[in-house]
Amino acid sequence: MKGEDHIRTLFGITLTDKPTWQQFLICSSGFFFGYLVNGICEEYVYNRLKFSYGWYFTFVQGFVYLTLISLQGFTTKQMVNPWKMYVKLSAVLMGSHGLTKGSLAYLNYPAQLMFKSTKVLPVMMMGAFIPGLRRKYPPREYFSAVLLVVGLILFTLADANSSPNFSIFGVVMVSGALVMDSFLGNLQEAIFTINRDTTQMEMLFCSTVVGTPFLIPPMVLTGELFRAWNSCFEHPYVYGVLVFEAVATFVGQVSVLSLIAIFGAATTALVTTARKAVTLLLSYIIFTKPMSEQHAMGLILIAAGIMMKMLPDHKIPQKLRIPDAIVKQVKSYPRDEKNEEHDEEKRSLV
């Protein structure tokens, strides 16, 4: 586990002095709450209000983030990393958010869910190429990720009333978001690893300040800035929904950064994928939808993937390992020939 020598907190709750399972539970609960509200708000904004302006949505969200971060008492004097460290991260972060939200204008929710549920695999593979990280995962973790992804896709496709609706432009947008996601979590983990004093608030503050200007060119070039402004001017209550969604997402974002700092990008990606499965399952329980055999198979694969990920690694503790120098010395030590002959006589004939 990373970050053990630095006191890490989440909204005033000290995580460092708690057992690992409590840290995981607290961070995951904040993430699940934030993004459950986020999903409901996005569904309402895009499908009910027909507000399909993903770049502008992210732009407004950035200003809400900065307001909330200032209310948390964070200032630039508390920064421990140079601004230039956040340029690449910010561009990837804003691109991922904008493309993800914008793709909902061209893809329905099941289609986007199918693509986004595969995020954990590119995140794991990209971790081997990020400087300062160079992370490798055992085959068991790749297999657990595949089980989770396949199970979630099966569960999504089992609902005949919500079959995926594909649009080429939407597929390109969500694919671009996936590529950026594969860099995003690993870049964040690399910064936390290089400088363990990096806080979640610094990460989110710098990413937002540096990244928000990246949203202006696509909004201007596509004309989205003016269309979104006119739409919000005619229906100002949309801003209320956007601000409420941004506050909930802020809780989820800080919780995700806590997961990345403590448990790593791949584990966090598995949690985000599992969240999608829980959201779908809750929708079937709350609205009493019929469950088919394909639903059951998807749930079994999801559960198997999660359980396989939770299995402990059976490694020999460092204290119990015999040093290589002693092993080489024992191998090179000459054996007594008389003892060898005596041992040979004692062996039973087969």
38 touches 61 (CB < 8 A): no
* pLDDT per residue as tens digits for the range 88-126: 888 888 788 778 877 777 776 666 767 777 777 777 777
10 touches 200 (CB < 8 A): yes
For residue 302, give the H/E element and its range: helix 293-310
Task: Tell me the one-letter amino acid at 11.
Answer: F
What pLDDT, on the 0 to 100 scale, is given for residue 321? 46
Rounded to the nearest angstrom, the gap between the alpha carbon of residue 233 and the centroid of all alpha carbons in its chain is 35
Nearest residue to 259 (alpha-carbon basis) of 8, 70, 73: 8
Mean pLDDT calculated for residue range 27-55: 77
SS3 state of residue 321: coil
Across 101-110, 174-183, 223-232, 309-318, least confident range: 309-318
Task: Tell me the one-letter amino acid at 82.
Answer: P
For residue 10, give the H/E element and its range: strand 9-10
Alpha carbons 266 and 125: distance in angstroms, whole number: 9
Is the pLDDT at 328 greater than 60? The verdict is: no
Backbone phi, psi, residue 263, to 5°:
-115, -15
Question: What tokens does 189 get?
Answer: 């983990």
Sequence-distant (6+) residues with CB within 8 A of 218 are 55, 98, 224
Alpha carbons 183 and 127: distance in angstroms, whole number: 8
126 vs 14, higher pLDDT: 14
Across 67-71, 143-147, 337-341, least confident range: 337-341
Longest pairwise C-alpha distance within the chain: 100
Question: What tokens does 193 get?
Answer: 């690893």
Q: How many helices (H) and strands (E) does the chain have?
A: 15, 2
Its pTM stands at 0.69
In the numeric block, the tokens 């949309």 are attached to 238
pLDDT bin (cut points 50, 70, 90) of residue 261 is: confident
Alpha carbons 74 and 72: distance in angstroms, whole number: 6
Is the pLDDT at 87 greater than 90? The verdict is: no
What pLDDT, on the 0 to 100 scale, is given for residue 134? 62
Alpha carbons 206 and 185: distance in angstroms, whole number: 15
* pLDDT per residue as tens digits for the range 311-325: 655 444 444 444 454
Question: What tokens does 325 get?
Answer: 């120098």
SS3 state of residue 152: helix
b/e per residue, 218-227, with b = 16+ CB within 10 A?
Answer: bbeeeebbee
Backbone phi, psi, residue 13, to 5°:
-90, 120
Question: What tokens does 204 get?
Answer: 């989110």
Mean pLDDT calculated for residue range 184-201: 86
Q: What is the DSSP track for 175-225? A: HHHHHHHHHHHHHHHHHHHH-TT--HHHHHHHHHHHHGGGGHHHHHHHTHH
Task: Tell me the one-letter amino acid at 145.
Answer: A
